[in-house]
Amino acid sequence: MSNPEREHQSSGMNLTDIYYVLFRHKWMILLFSAAGILGAAVIYFIEPAMYSSEAELLIPYVLETKLPSGGGADQPITVSTGGNALNSEIPILTSLDLASQVVDVIGADRILARAGGGTNRYLAAAFIKKHLKVDPLPETAVLQIVFQHPDRDIVQPVLSQLITNYLSKHMELHRNPHLFDDVLQRQQDDLKHKLSDAEDQLRRLKTKAGVISSLEDSKKAYTEQLAKIGEDQAATQAELAQQQAALNELKKLLPGKSEDTGTNSVVPPEKMSDFRRISALLDSYYKQDQSLSSWATPEMPIVKTLHEQIAEAEKKKKELVDKYPKLADLEAAATKTATPVIDLSAAQAQITGLQQKLNALNLQAQQVMTNAAVLAAAEPEITDWQRQRDLLETQLRNNSSSLEQTRFTDQLGAGKNTNIGVAQAPSPPFRESRQLVKLLAMVVAGGVFGGIGLAFLIEMYLDRTVKRPIEIETRLRLPLFLSIPNTGRNGRPRLPKPSDNGHLCLPAPAGQTGAVETSDAGKSDGAEVAPWDDGHSLRRFYEALRDRLVTYFEVRNLTHKPKLVAVTGCSKGAGVTTIAAGLAATLSETGDGNVLLVDMNLEQGAAHPFHKGKPGCGLDDALENEKRDSALVQDNLYVVTEGTNGDKLPRIMPKRFSHLMPKLKASDYDYIIFDMPPVSQISVTPRLAGFMDMVLLVVESERTDRDAVKRATAMLAESKANVSAILNKTRTYVPRRLHQEFLSGS
């Protein structure tokens, strides 16, 4: 009944979908295509003829004088080859300045004579620029130039003048070094000014940091000074330690305090100094006396004077010893140890001097380190300015070299000849058709693809109706029981349209295309054939629906009787009544059991149905064997209406139906088919769906909106009903040779 694989099929478009869209909207696509062809024809006849002239320029390389960046390179003449050379020349050829020069020679009135007229120089230049096409030929050093104009007499002269002016402009832009002389001179002056500022700033920073020569020399001098001061500090500290140790040892040699309290036990330093001086003087006198004794006699004046001095010195020494006896002990100890007399004050004075020297060295080291710190703080800025000065000096040298080179090249006459060759002179004018053909093709293609695009836009976004069986399963996720075609759209004649008030007792016209509703008795033009008649055009589809419904119940082992089947739709006119009648008729032919068809659509004020001149009976009568004869329309098939109190039907039907269920289950009907009203928020159908064994939802192809089907399905699902779909009045647009019925589901 439904293909499970289709329920998981992607919603993407496949080849079958494309065929369907194209053939469904074929007339719209053909109309747009015809409009495109008609538009192309109109353009062909109203578009003025264009004439073209072609030329080719060979540009193997471009010799170019470039202004050096930041002061220049040593050689400003460069060569561009290949694609770079061609691409650099295209903007020159297509420039508005070059076109204006051509206009000045040819004349704006001649150029605009067949292009709107006028003498505006800028309009003429813009026309030339617009209709000039320059393209490099692939894998060559050739530029192809094409100019188009409505006047065949103008095309070739304009292109020739354009090439002539281009060659002159090329030399002006690329190969005239004297154009750069003033720029280079101004650049050189600017570099000199910047260099002078950099040197002044560098000089100021060096003076502030105490740098005399170079930064590295100053750092080296500070390092050497710190090293020399460090050596002096180490030597002074060692000598100070030595003197301090010697003083300590001398103090140990001094005797203890004298026991004579009347005599000073301590010799004053000045007396100690006098005693040592007198002792040293005596030693000197003794040595002189010993020296004189070898040759002088005691009577000689010099000897006498020396003896007098010795006696005087000994007297003074004795006086000191008598006053300070400790001097005698010190003298004895010194004589005994053969060491000089100890002078503690001299030793102490020497130690004090060494300490002062060490303090001075520390101050010097601190000053040197302070100067070095100032230099280190200024070093980054000094280095940066030195780098800028060096860079400016380099740029100034390069600029000077470039200026000299350009002047030298200008003197030699560089740039007076061009390397560009005319591979093909401007050709005689010929009518241009390629652009017109392209335009016409675009118009035709726009019409064709515009129609196709609109068709797909309508199909995918604008038209929200259900059109094909495959959409029931893939988009609505509903099991599909049957697809009933609209036979009149598939080559069969369409007969008079039947009535549409939904009542069953008036048979549908013979040959009706698709299942339809009936209405307005007596207005049919031809012979009418009831849906249960063997001659009905859709008889085979009703039989297929019957077989699938029976198979559905057998597979699910539903054997109880009667089986309740509801047929409903999303809107009126979907064919619910005809399908319900056809299904009931074919089910009545399967065996000896009876089938009851219940019309639930009769509203207040509607005409009551008649059969064979007798009024139709109601549902209560159909459940009683002795009263249902008037509802028999053919063997085993009974048709009744539930129309009593039609205005109260939605309100009382669920309760009434609950009371009727025991009678329905006790009846001798195999199937009871209910022709239900369309599903809506106010209809009784959703409330009765839960009583049914099967609910068949009829969807009218190309009429029923997908959202309406989803809402109806959701309302039926709330009553836990088993819902399956029937797609009615389907149309097949794809030719049979391209259409595979089983795969497409049509």
pLDDT, residue 652, reads 53
SS3 694: strand
Q: In this structure, which topology does domain 47-176+415-432 adopt according to CATH?
A: Bacterial polysaccharide co-polymerase-like (3.30.1890)
Of 507, 506, 498, which is closest to residue 608 (Cα–Cα)?
506
- Residue 526 neighbours by CB under 8 Å, 6+ apart: 495, 496, 509, 510
Beta bridge partners of 57: 143, 422
* Helix orientation angle between 96-106 and 121-130, rounded to the nearest 10 degrees: 120
Of 392, 390, 389, which is closest to residue 71 (Cα–Cα)?
392
* Helix orientation angle between 434-457 and 26-46, rounded to the nearest 10 degrees: 160
Give the span between the Cα atoms of 275 and 272, in whole angstroms. 5
Helix (H) or strand (E) holding 81: strand 77-81
pLDDT, residue 504, reads 41
Buried b / exposed e across 332-362, counting CB within 10 Å, b at 16+?
Answer: eebeeeeeebbbeeebeebbeebeebbeebe
SS3 661: helix
> Which own/partner contact pairs does 705-711 have at CB distance under 8 Å and 24+ positions apart?
705/464, 705/465, 705/466, 705/570, 706/464, 706/465, 706/466, 706/471, 706/475, 706/476, 707/464, 708/570, 708/571, 709/466, 709/476, 709/478, 709/570, 710/476
Measured CA angle at 676 (ends 672, 680), to 5 deg: 150
Give the span between the Cα atoms of 363 and 395, in whole angstroms. 47
Place of tokens 């260099």: 195
SS3 724: strand
- pTM equals 0.51
Q: What's the pLDDT tens digit per position in 102-114?
A: 999 989 899 888 8
SS3 286: helix
How far is CA 338 from each of CA 240, 282, 499, rounded to the nearest angstrom? 26, 16, 163
Q: What are phi and psi of 432, to 5 degrees?
A: -90, 120
Of 582, 640, 638, 586, which is closest to residue 609 (Cα–Cα)?
640
CB 275 within 8 A of CB 320: yes
**Residue 681: burial class (beta carbons within 10 Å; 0-12, 13-18, 19+):** exposed
Beta bridge partners of 53: 147
- Residue 22 neighbours by CB under 8 Å, 6+ apart: 29, 452, 455
> What are the domain boundaries of the chain?
4-45+436-462, 47-176+415-432, 255-341, 469-744
How is residue 462 annotated by DSSP? I
Neighbours of 514 (CB within 10 A): 24
Give the span between the Cα atoms of 287 and 160, in whole angstroms. 130
Q: Collect the ranges in the chain with pLDDT lower than 70.
A: 1-12, 61-83, 174-182, 250, 252-266, 329-345, 406-418, 488-535, 592, 602-618, 620-621, 624-627, 629-630, 643-654, 739-746
Instruction: Give the ranges where 343-481 is alpha helix by DSSP (H).
Output: 344-412, 434-457, 469-474
Q: Which amino acid is at 553?
A: F
Q: What's the pLDDT tens digit per position in 205-259?
A: 878 777 777 777 887 887 888 888 888 888 888 888 887 877 777 676 655 444 4
pLDDT, residue 83, reads 66
pLDDT, residue 534, reads 65
pLDDT, residue 238, reads 84
CB 686 within 8 A of CB 695: no
CATH label, 469-744, candidates 3.60.10.10, 2.130.10.10, 3.40.1180.10, 3.40.50.300: 3.40.50.300
Indicate the pairing of strand 132-136 with strand 142-149: antiparallel
pLDDT, residue 454, reads 93
